[in-house]
Chains A and B, each alone.
Chain A
Amino acid sequence: MACFLVPTGEAIVTTILTKAIKSKEKADITPSKEEVHEAVSAKIPFSKKLSWLNNMLWGGSALLAFEHIWHGEVVAWFPFLTAMENPDEAMAMLHEMSTVGVSMAVLVTAVWGIMVMASDIIMKKQELDETAKLQPIAIDNDTEKE
């Protein structure tokens, strides 16, 4: 009926958050170009990770909104949702939003959380591999000096 409105609401919040975090990250990273490059390559910025969630929420909501238009549940005239014309249907719509809609938002956010965790693990592993590769070279240099 209107379950897609819950993820849409979450998408609005996360988009505002992304913009705020992005501007904060830009303000934090003002030193030299090399330092910026190092910081970006060493760690994925949180705003980038949030943009993955934004894409999933906005994209999913847009395609689901299309499905609702297809089924005649969303119309171009006021009140835009056909369920709003009847109090009984409006109650059913609110119930659907609080069950299916909330579950959709929670599931997408949970999958995004797993994606973020996986990317953090991959980045950490990569960092460890790089330091392990550099260590023998440092030892060799020390022995050469001796």
Chain B
Amino acid sequence: MTLLITVLAACITTVLWYKNAPDDTMKLGFLALMYWGASLMWMCDAIFEYKELGAEFFSPAAADMINDGFLGLSVVALGMVIWIVQLIVKDPKGIVKKAISKN
């Protein structure tokens, strides 16, 4: 479930990045790469788990699925928080600088 949610987030972010390319002022490329990196790592984890559990891997308990779903959503939220922090720190549009200098 975590893998699935992260892959979906990676696909959506990549589409948004492609739509705005070559303009990457919003640093969507960074967010997409972060999600893809995590997706690849969880895919690796899933392959090893599948090797261990076999077909049982595809029929998880409902409680596990809910927990993994929450984890997946939390991971997506954390990724967005990291992206926003990076966006504010780098401030490609100079908006934060302007807002601070106004006050």
Contact = CB atoms under 8 A, between A and B. Distances in A.
Contact of B40 (A60, A66, A67, A99): A60
Interface in B28-59: 29-30, 33-45, 47-48
* Interface size classification for chain A: 20 to 34
Contacts of B74: 66, 70
Interface string B2-33: 10001000000000000000000000011001
Interface residues of B, number: 25
Contacts, number: 78
B71 interface: yes
Interface of B: 2, 6, 29-30, 33-45, 47-48, 71, 74-75, 78-79, 82
19 contacts: A52-B33, A55-B29, A60-B36, A60-B40, A63-B34, A63-B37, A63-B75, A64-B41, A66-B74, A66-B78, A67-B75, A70-B71, A103-B44, A104-B40, A104-B45, A107-B43, A108-B40, A111-B36, A111-B40
